[in-house]
Amino acid sequence: MISTRPVVSRLADSVAGELEKRILEGSLKSGDRLPSERLLALDLGVSRPSLREAMQQLVTKGLLSTRHGGGTFVTDRLDAHFVDPWQDMLKGNPLLHRDLLEVRQMLETQAASLAADRATDADISRLDAVHAALENSYDRDDLSACIDADAAFHQAVAEATHNVLIGHLTASLMRLIHGHVANNLVHLHARPQRRNQLRAQHRAIWLAIREHQPQEAALAASEHIDFVRQGIEDKSLDEARRSSALRRRRQSPDQLA
């Protein structure tokens, strides 16, 4: 009797490669639950034994994890080892925020340019959808939704570059600076003029990519980060002025004499 094991193994290697590709390109993201074994086997056109072996390969690599009775999930292995140590460093070193903005400016400027050059019709449709969600959050003045939509917009731009490293680096940076971005958006949204400028900047990035204009997209992205940097500086100044005013207010009349 001829064993089919080598054939199953070769097929499993191919299936594992396809799943790994989907994780790298962002079709399957950290935290996503894989479809049921039956549906995924149908989607990939393979037998369930071959699929199980392929999934076990990715579990061994740390890209997938299984939960008893709860399914199989994409892990955060590609991002967590970068994010975790830097989160602690950012808390104790405020100057790192400046360095982070410089990295973000380089990354997002290049991402916008590449996305404008490489975006497919499917990428444009996704960008249209995430930009519409961002616009809707502005219309509803929903700050929480705006924070989420802002991150989703920048991630969609990154993934439209078709460079898997840019996609994962952007996802990592967004996780790393989520709280920082949220605080800055609170500051900017409290000022209608700044809020409208921020809205216009995202629209400019979206339109330049949509119209496949790399130079315009890069310029719009760079100006956006410059604006964010200025917003952070203004916020710091406002906080320093408030603290100074409170200290003066607490002084007794005798101290003021």
pLDDT 10s digits, 28-69: 888 889 998 899 999 999 999 999 999 999 898 888 888 877
Cα-Cα end-to-end distance for the chain: 103
Instruction: Indicate the SS3 state at residue 252.
Output: coil
- pTM value surpassing 0.95: no
Domains and CATH numbers, the chain: 5-75 (1.10.10.10), 79-246 (1.20.120.530)
Q: Is the pLDDT of residue 252 over 60?
A: no
E strand or H helix that includes residue 65: strand 64-67
Residue 84 confidence (pLDDT): 61
pLDDT 10s digits, 171-217: 888 887 776 677 777 777 778 888 899 999 999 999 999 999 999 99
Q: If pLDDT is split at 50, 70 and 90, which confidence band does 3 have?
A: very low
Residue 221 confidence (pLDDT): 97
E strand or H helix that includes residue 93: none
